Structure 1
């Protein structure tokens, strides 16, 4: 998370938008993102030019020779705000809108109806100057900027969406360890946080995949998929993916739960934080999903969707509200039974309720399961996360307590968890025990509390101590009275 000076700079830029008449938070983020993207394009181009020069090879850049004046480092130095405004609005913006000429590319689809809304040259000059002083060359810093911008949306979206903190996304990706062969989807992608984190994980842990043409092509064109119903977030997501080196993600404007979504057994990894509540057109919900659990609850329908769209052997790591774990309705029990009995439930990680503040105080958990179609659940690993490295209030300030490294380490070595007792922070629960408890997945159902025996002193000894304290109090009152009496005598 960004703090201090950088946060203040972002706030100042935000204030420039606000005072200039752009007050819708998503519109501000969108316009802000366009300019961050333009700056990022220039920085990436500069890096590639330097690498090409070092290697002594030719570099065919994004900016043609006759378009060099459209680069950030060029137009920011123009003599007047009016001149800069003319170049950015009439040349730079159309240039980035048509950057990927192929109509079928995600970038082209969602940039097609993008609109440059900064109203005046003076406002553009202030915003460009502010963004120029932000640290954007480092990918992590850029991700922190995105996260802070998204945190400016004070309330959850109309579909019950709220933004998943980057450190939680990173933890989930590290737990799942995406491989170069995976086909990854987030059916409620928002700004593409999970997809970006998965792409970064692969770059950091499987850099050799880019030396294999087939895997490199897969990474760029057929590995990443995302759906959303908010075109603004789709645009932000498409730019986010492109800035992180994925040129052609498969991003669609789509209601993942609707009948129109025909995806079935297509993906090997689902990473998602689907909406928990909000509007749902029940009539349009796919009949395939209702066969597993007839319900209007989106969190249950999405679990049905994940099972349908995964290939056999495919894995899912998804965030669900706590109600999914222990809900007593027929639909709740049915979906839990489906995952436990017919597939392989691997883990339930209970998270504290403050993780999603300031958006919401809802308590959530992470479900990790594998689609088998033939069962396989024997023992399910439970972890009781108490801290995530940030305070659990609206401020979400950094703190020392953090269970995330421990969660990743333990999950990567589950063999060592077998001897743990249910009084500890993590433990296994058997399939039989889950069945006996109606497939309840609440950690408190299984966590045992260890009571320590406290030995008190004999009543006679305690009474003597009370009498001694009482004598001391009486003596203290007497001393205080004498002090007051002596003071009155002295004044007389």
Structure 2
């Protein structure tokens, strides 16, 4: 993995020469397209069927018209149909920014091709692609379509998909949740040797065309182009409200946190909401209701939401009450701050089930995991394998045995108790902390954690202030 991170660093340095010529988004798109091109074009000439092979590209790198002619032609030639996916690589919005004929452009693209030429084949490209996505998110660019791997693994392990499941992501971004679901099934159920039948049936939707292209490349690199039931859907999921009309076994979602002005996109249309209309200033519970409406009778879901969704009042409190009365909420897991590089807003992971076991009915498991994880950089934390296993173990205890109670960590709460708490779902409200003796360095670490959490509250407060000003301005 360190070797792959080193390759990503070299790719970013190579493109850094074009800083000021290319926007950060265009740079990301070009790097990702080049990684994909390395994978699909690294074939013999008879397989290429007239399209330029990777060897052709490497041989022509020194040429003065490499970017304007050779690279452009290769990206165009390798666009097309891959299983259920249609992929267009030659994005003029990106290529049009290249300073054709300049020495620094030749240097940057030459270095880019050289780094990729030294990289391995097949699965290595999928890993390199994922590490590029992670790096772009660390740079606070591209975070809107990338979910950190530790969070993705936690969500998928909680859902435990099995062969034949239909898995849906209504805001699929780079398709990280879908690829991890397939990886989980491959590890636990085994991948059919002949691959005549898909391991999973995958369904993804994202309203952003460039994001869908990133997702398509990721799925193809992981060999999942045949597992998609159809091409990635371009519709806005929220247009379907709580009645999307298609039913899935599992839904996984990391939608934009506390998205404001979301109703501007659906004004003038009737959209049904089972638990009541979400506030116009915040789409969190529009996503929740859409996810629930997408599930089969026995379906289950995991969705990431900003902490504020657990306790805000008004229409959101009314919706939370409806979720409790329908008994579809299985667990709420409070995550540590600093997991998401592109935002300081703290988050909770909500788990839903439409088929709770008898002993888990009329109960919700709350897990307070806000103090777990390890510091990986300034302001950034990550869940360890042990943290993920502990969260999953607590969830299994609650869902399979109906009771899970560990002081300071988790507690199973009755619906009556949740109603008495005014439908506040924040785990810290229901799981009392345990006093512990401080160890050397604990105070400094805790100050950093609280600082990150405070920044998250500042961000949430600033967003709410903007929304209030919008409302007051409209009066």
Using structure 2 for the length normalisation, give the TM-score: 0.77
| 1:336 aligns with one of 317, 320, 333 | 320
Matches within 5 A, 1:228-267: 228-248=206-226, 249=228, 250-258=231-239, 263-267=244-248
Shift of 1:433: 1.4
- Give me the whole-angstrom Cα distance separating, in 1, the residues matched to 2:351 and 2:11: 36
1:382 to 360, 366, 375: 366
Map of 1:158-197 to 2, 5 A cutoff?
161=144, 163-197=146-180
Cα separation, 2, equivalents of 1:408 and 1:389: 15
1:355 & 1:271 partners in 2: Cα distance?
A: 18
Residues 1:95 and 2:77 are matched in the alignment: yes
- Residue 201 of structure 1 pairs with residue 210 of structure 2: no
Aligned residue number for residue 34 of structure 1: 33
Contact 2:373/2:382 (8 A) holds in 1: yes
Which residue pairs with 1:361 in the alignment?
344
Question: Is 1:268 the counterpart of 2:258 in the alignment?
Answer: no
Give CA-to-partner distance per residue, 1:38-70, whole Å, 9 cap, x none.
112245x58xxxxxxxxxxxxx97522x44xx2
Cα gap change, 1:394 to 1:254, in 2 (>3 Å): farther
- Matches of 2:379 and 2:252 in 1, distance apart? 27
Measure the CA separation in 2 of the matches of 1:312 and 1:420.
25
| Pairwise CA distance, 1:146 | 2.2
Distance 2:385 2:294 in 1: 37
Partners of 2:32 and 2:404 in 1: CA distance = 47
Deviations 1:176-232 (A, max 9, x none): 11122211111111111111211222222222445473x32x74xxx2122222211
Cα root mean square deviation, aligned: 3.5
1:284 aligned onto 2:266: yes
Per chain length, whose mean CA-contact separation is higher, i.e. which structure has more relative contact order (CA < 8 Å, sep 6+)? 2
Distance 1:397 1:2, change over 3 A: farther
Q: 1:205 to 1:425 in 2, by over 3 A?
A: same
Match in the other structure for 2:416: 432
Structure 1 residues 278-320: Cα deviation after superposition (integer angstroms, max 9, x where no partner): 3323471664444522222210111111121211111110001
Q: Give 1:9's aligned residue.
A: 10
Distance (Å, rounded) in 2 between the aligned partners of 1:415 and 1:130? 48
SS at match of 2:250: strand
Q: Secondary structure at the match of 1:188?
A: coil
Unmatched runs of 5 consecutive residues or more in structure 1: 47-59, 454-492
User: Against the structure 1 CA distance between its residues 368 and 421, is the aligned structure 2 distance closer, same or farther, given a 3 Å change threshold?
Assistant: closer
Instruction: After superposing the two structures, state which structure 1 stretch, 383-392 or 165-174, moved more.
Output: 383-392
User: Is the CA contact 2:76–2:90 (under 8 Å) kept in the aligned structure 1?
Assistant: no
Q: Give the TM-score normalised by the residue count of structure 1.
A: 0.74
2: CA distance, partners of 1:306 / 1:288: 14
What SS does the corresponding residue of 1:228 show, helix, strand or coil? coil
Structure 1 segments of 4 or more deviating over 6 A?
373-376, 397-401, 415-419
